[in-house]
Amino acid sequence: MNSAPDSAEITTAEKASSTGGPSGTAGSGPSGTAPTSLAAEAARRRTFAVISHPDAGKSTLTEALALHAKVISEAGAVHGKAGRKSTVSDWMEMEKARGISVSSTALQFNYHAEGTPEDQINVVNLVDTPGHSDFSEDTYRVLTAVDAAVMLIDAAKGLEPQTLKLFQVCRHRGIPVITVINKWDRPGRTPLELLDEIDERIGLTPTPLFWPVGIAGDFRGLLRRGDDGVAEEYIRFTRTAGGAKIAPEVRMTPDEASAQEGSEWATAAEESELLSATGQDHDQELFLAGQTSPVIFASAMLNFGVRQILDTLIALAPAPGARKDVAEGAREVTDPFSAVVFKVQAGMDAAHRDRLAFMRVVSGVFERGMVVTHAQTSKPFATKYALTVFGRDRSTVENAYPGDIVGLVNANALAPGHTLFTDKKVEFPPIPSFAPEHFSVLRAESASKYKQFRRAVDQLESEGVVQILRNDIRGDASPVMAAVGPMQFEVVAARMKAEFNVEARMEPLGYALARRTDAASATELGRQRGVEVFTRTDGVLLALFSDKWRLQYIQKEMPELTLEPLVAAGDQ
């Protein structure tokens, strides 16, 4: 049973009679919210993603951040071992079993940063992303919806291939990055060596705010650096059982730290001053310009350094700002309501057989029940069922502001990249689909389950779990799945079984790459050996090739044919 009826597209007459939502005046909202109030609401929000290579500890860190914000009382382990909990952000059975994230998850919570007035409460919108390269398309969608990123690096492994790719996405989109070197409680490399690698391999100057006391594997605490690199304070941590609780902190002056830690403190203080001598002190303008990255050393598993990460995000990460639209204009946060859909997800809870479209509020005030316009169809859209989410737990949201992430229930007309707005039309740039590199035919094991099979394919396709390709020869009973990585096919099979009770059979196709083509070229391409032409759901014609040599031969022999490269996962 669905928890709510489908969000319906309504008639223009019904829209005109609706009294819900903002009036259309810039910055107006429920009960006549003033523009200054709207700007203040936007200013206290921080919306960021956690990115990294697989197994660097993203989900563990996400859980630890929620623990320090006191929205959960105990952190769970992520590895799915018998008798141990999974994190709140990993809710799929496949995620729990493997201890990895295969889908991005949104969490929203309030947080009071240390040293700020008691009544200054920030709203944190955090997105835990998949680290595995097979799910890089999902991660890219998330990065279109955030204002900052936390780049998590394993202290023993340093920068890894997927971390490098994700950083390039952040650089391309102008997203400032805060670096967290995780797992400092385990043996690893030296801190200076890790900073040199960041500088040399990605051209980002690391500017540590906190420096570790104790080598990797002997994590005692953090030295808080002053503006000139001089040690201002020592924060000493104490372990808790299994890292399930917030680690107690003891604050010490430099003299007290020297007496407590001896040579370990002296080494940390000396290295901190050395960093300052080489120009590795924080500069807010350079950070926002994407030239530097504040660095914090931590152990998410032990909850060491986690509060410092949250406080740094509140202090330094940018608040929501203006967003460019397709017309190269800018939608300011105080303009009438607008939002961009960046993810669609179903099956989050067996008790709620619904589908959520996650939107990032770009401007104005969102009020549940307001009538907005769907930019892609120009049709009115009702928002009666709107939720905030915490993992897969959900609660009804009445209002939301720029930077907030809201789930619209059963918004079947919405897809990633779509725009919603009120008042003057706006449309934000679409989210590109990545070039698929793996192809497989999908069939239902039992013909009696064909209807369920079709529903499952339609749903997973609309979410963007895989791209679905069709042509007249294969028909609807044997659609072709196209994916960035083969693990996406495993997700399809697992979700079809769990959510639709359909056993699916997958048969790999002998194609290795795809090119965009057109109707005029499709006929000739269809005659070529080692080539097959399909139509993607968005109407784009894709020609699949058995290998790069076959593609090169056809391009040489028939240069008049249209064969355009698609966006590769590492090129964003």
E strands of 238-282, at which residues?
249-252
> In whole angstroms, what is the distance from residue 201 CA to residue 159 CA?
8
Q: Is 130 annotated as belonging to a binding site?
A: yes
The DSSP call for residue 430 is P
Non-local CB neighbours of 263 within 8 Å, separated by 6+ positions: none
> In whole angstroms, what is the distance from residue 570 CA to residue 165 CA?
6
The DSSP call for residue 133 is G
> In whole angstroms, what is the distance from residue 517 CA to residue 437 CA?
17
> In whole angstroms, what is the distance from residue 128 CA to residue 130 CA?
7
Non-local CB neighbours of 113 within 8 Å, separated by 6+ positions: 120, 122, 310, 311, 314, 315
Q: Is 25 annotated as belonging to a binding site?
A: no
Q: Does the CA dihedral 519-523-528-533 come out positive or negative? A: positive
Q: Is 112 annotated as belonging to a binding site?
A: no
The DSSP call for residue 565 is P
Indicate the helix (H) or strand (E) that contains 517. Answer: strand 513-517
Q: Which long-range contacts (CB under 8 A, 24 or more apart) does 187-194 make?
A: 187/156, 187/216, 187/217, 188/154, 188/155, 188/156, 188/216, 188/217, 189/155, 189/156, 189/158, 189/216, 190/215, 190/216, 191/216, 191/271, 191/297, 192/271, 192/274, 193/158, 194/153, 194/155, 194/158
Among 45, 55, 141, 228, residue whose Cα is nearest residue 569? 141
Binding residues: 128-132
Query: Which residue ranges make up the annotated binding site for GTP?
Result: 128-132
